[in-house]
Chains A and B, each alone.
Chain A
Amino acid sequence: MEGEYARRAFPCFDEPNFKATFATILWYQIDYPWSESNEYYALSNMPLEGEAECEENWCKATFQKSAVMSTYLNVYAIVDFGSVLTTTTLEDTPAELFARKEAIGERGQSIAEVGQDNPMWFPTRCTERITDRFGEVLRSYSEMGVPKADQIAIPDFNAGAMENWGLVTYREQSLLYDMSRDRFSRKEYVCSVVAHEMAHMWFGDFITCPWWDELWINEAFATYFSYVGLEQSEDPKLEWDPELKVDNWDLGRMMIYGDVTSALSADQTIGSNPIVNKENNGDHNVEGNSGSGSSSITYSKGGFVIKMMRCHLGDEAFFGGLQNYLEKFQYSNPTTQDLFQCWDDYIASNGIETNPTYESPDGPLCGGIGESLNGPVLSKSFEETFDPWVRQMGYPFLRVRYNEDGVLTIQQKRFLTNPDEDIAEPPSSYGYVWDVPLALMMKTGDTVTYQNSWLAADDTEQVIEIRILVLTNANCIKILILDFKYKMRILAVANQTYLLQIMNIHQWLGCYTKTRF
C-alpha cells in the first residue's frame, strides 16, 4: 500500500511519518463455491492472537497488535495457499513462505522435508540466512517487534515485491525458483529480491523516511544491503550452504549489472533528480506519492553512493554508525542529516582515527561492494563530504592528463551526454562540484602502492606529483579502485597511435555480443 493506498483500505493519516500500532481483525469466509471445503485462512503483519473463531462459513481472525509502523506497511491476505515452514539460521525466528498449492504443495511443509525440486526451497533457504545476516551486522530481527519473517508469492501483484513488515509480498516470479529449470540470472534475482525486502525490515519499516522526497532512506539502503545480505559472514554459522551455490557469487559484478550502469546513465541529463529530492531539482517538488523521482537515482545511484560511503568509512564505522542510527531513531523518521550525523558522531565518540588519505602496499582500500577493514578515509566531516553527492543531481567526470614535465593533473567537471544541455542547470547550491574520491594504483619497479585521496570540490585542479601513475577510478566495481588481483606493469610513455581499421571480413555470426550465461 506504499504511496497513497492505505487510505483506500481504512481511514488514516496516510503519510509515512504518522506511525501507529495496528490491531487488525479480519472477517472472512473459509469456503467459496470454487474451493474445496474450509480452505481459506487469513494472514497479516503479525501472528494470530489465538485461533480464528469460526461460525458456519465465517471466521474472525484477530491478530496481535503490530509494532509502531507507517500505514503503508499494513498487509492482509485471505488465501488457500500452501506453505513451507522454517526458522532463521541463528535466531530461530519463524518464517512461513506461502504460494499457490499448485506451485509448492500443501500448507505447513517443513523445510527439512521439502526437496530442491520445490520452487519454494531456494527462497526459503535464502530467507533463513539473509534475515540473520542482517541481524549480525545491524540488530536482531525479532527485537524490532515483529516475531515472524513470512513471505508470500501472489499470482497477480503490481510491484516486484513489497516490504510489508512480517509478511513480505512478491510476484511469483520474484520469489519462486525452480532449481532444475530456471535460468541462472533468475536465481541471483530471487535471492537479491529477498535480501532487498528483508533489508527493508530495518531500513523502511523499523525506521522510515520522513517523506517521499527522502525515499532513499528506505530504498537506497535496501538496494545496497541486498548485496550485504548475500555477503560472506565471519560467523561460521552463517556460511552459505554449499548446496545453494550462492557463496561464489561475485557481488561486485552483480552490482555493475544491477545498479552501476543504470545509475550512471540516468544521471547524465538535466532531467535527472538528486537522491534527496528536496532541493536543487528545478522546483520539481515531490508530491504525495512514492513514485516521484527516478527510481534509478533513488535505488541504484543511492545504493552505489552507499557503497562509496562504506568504502571510505570502513566496516567498523559504517556498521557501528548504522547500529546507533537504528537505535536512536527506532520507530521514527530520521532525515538524511540525522543519518550522516550518526556516522560523524560514531567516529568522534569512539575516537576513531580518520585519515585524509590511504596508502598501502598491501591492498586496496576496499573490496567489490565497498567492504573494508581500514579506518575512515575522509578529509572533511562525513556530512560535508557526502552532502553534494546526495543533494544535487549529476556526477563528475575527471580529466586526467600528464603535463609536459610528467606531472599528472586531474580536473573535474559535471558530465552530461547532451551537448545542448547547460551543465549549470538546474541551479545547484553545490555548483556541480564534488569531493571526488581518487583511487590510484602505482607501480615502481616491483613495488605496487595503492593510494586513496580526495579531489576537493573547491580545487579547480589537483596536481599529483607522481611520475608513474596508471589509472584512476579504473575499476568500475570499486568505483575508484583497481582490482588488485591483476598485476600492472610500469607503463612507459608511448606515442603509438591506433587507427581504426574497419576490416571487411565477410563472415557471419548470429546475435554476436548478445551472449548471456
Chain B
Amino acid sequence: MVRVLYEDTVLANLISALDENIDNIPPFSRANFVSDNFAFAQNAPLTGVTIDQTLTNTHFMSSETEHVVWVMFNQGMDYIWSILKFTENGPILDDYVRSLVQAYYERFGWGMDLENSR
C-alpha cells in the first residue's frame, strides 16, 4: 500500500535497464512503476513529477507485451485522454500511443498498415 518515486540516478538506472531489456524488471514491477508515475503526475507540486516525465518514463511501453502493464498504462492514460481528446493535441497523443502499442499487437499476430491509416 505504497507508491515509490525513484529519483535521479535510481530512476536513470531503472530506465536504462528497461531500455536494454524490458525483462530486466519484472512485469508486476513495471505495472507498479507505470501506475505510480501517472499518479505522481497528477500532483506535480507534491512529487515534482510532470506528465512529460511520466510519458518519458513509460516510453518502454513500446516493447511491452504484458497485459497487466498495459492495464495500468491504459488506466493512467484515461485522464490524459479525457482532457486532450478534443484538443489539437488529441491526435498527436493517439499517434504516440499507437506507436507504443505496436509490439503488443504483433504479439497476437495483428499487423499494422502504416500507409493506410485514418
A interface with B by C-beta (< 8 Å): 252-253, 256-257, 261, 263-265, 267-268, 301, 304-305, 308, 389, 395-402, 408, 413, 415-419, 423, 436, 469-480, 482-489, 491-500, 502-509, 512-515, 517
Contacts and interface: CB of A to CB of B under 8 A. Distances in A.
A419 B47 CA distance: 10
A492 B13 contact: yes
B73 to A, nearest CB: 7
Contacts of B68: 253, 256-257
A135 to B, nearest CB: 30
A475 B32 contact: yes
A506 B10 contact: no
Nearest to B27: A483
Given A418-B43, A483-B29, A505-B95, A474 B4 contact: yes
B2 A436 contact: yes
A507 B98 contact: yes
8 contacts: A256-B28, A401-B8, A415-B39, A417-B43, A475-B28, A493-B13, A507-B117, A515-B104
B80 interface: no
B6 A397 contact: no
A204 to B, nearest CB: 23
Interface in B23-53: 23-29, 31-33, 35-36, 39-40, 42-47, 52
A267 B1 CA distance: 10
B2 to A, nearest CB: 5
B46 A423 contact: yes
Contacts, number: 212
A514 B28 CA distance: 19
A47 B10 CA distance: 62
Contact of B114 (A308, A395, A506): A506
B28 A478 contact: yes
Nearest to B77: A513
Given A256-B31, A402-B9, A419 B46 contact: yes
B9 A502 contact: no
Interface in B45-95: 45-47, 52, 55-57, 59, 67-68, 70-75, 77, 92-93, 95
Interface string B11-24: 01111110100011
Interface of B: 1-10, 12-17, 19, 23-29, 31-33, 35-36, 39-40, 42-47, 52, 55-57, 59, 67-68, 70-75, 77, 92-93, 95-99, 101, 104-105, 108, 112-118
Nearest to A495: B12
Nearest to B54: A500
Contacts of A396: 2-3
A103 to B, nearest CB: 32
Contact of A502 (B19, B95, B105): B95
Contacts of B43: 415-419
A498 B15 contact: yes
Contact of B1 (A395, A402, A514): A395
Contacts of B23: 486-487
Contact of A480 (B2, B5, B15, B98): B2
Most interface-central of A265, A417, A476 (chain B CB within 10 A): A476
Contacts of B93: 502
Contact of A504 (B1, B56, B71, B95): B95
B44 A419 contact: yes
B32 A397 contact: no
Top 8 nearest A-B pairs (CB, nearest first) are A508-B117, A476-B32, A483-B26, A474-B29, A494-B16, A491-B13, A417-B42, A507-B117
A502 B29 CA distance: 25
A256 B71 CA distance: 10
B50 to A, nearest CB: 11
A400 B5 CA distance: 6
B72 A485 contact: no
Contacts of A496: 12, 15-16, 19
A408 B19 CA distance: 22
Given A498-B15, A507-B117, A301 B46 contact: no
Given A505-B114, A513-B97, A489 B26 contact: no
Contact of B92 (A252, A480, A502, A515): A502
A389 B114 contact: no
A476 B29 contact: yes
B12 A494 contact: yes
Contact of B75 (A261, A402, A473): A261
B17 A474 contact: no
Most interface-central of A301, A508, A517 (chain B CB within 10 A): A508
B101 A476 contact: no
A479 B1 contact: yes
Contact of B13 (A413, A494, A500): A494
Given A419-B46, A507-B95, 11 more contacts: A265-B39, A415-B46, A474-B28, A476-B29, A488-B17, A491-B13, A495-B12, A504-B92, A509-B117, A513-B97, A515-B70
Contacts of B25: 471, 474, 486, 488
Contact of A491 (B16, B26, B105, B114): B16
A229 to B, nearest CB: 22
Most interface-central of A267, A399, A478 (chain B CB within 10 A): A399
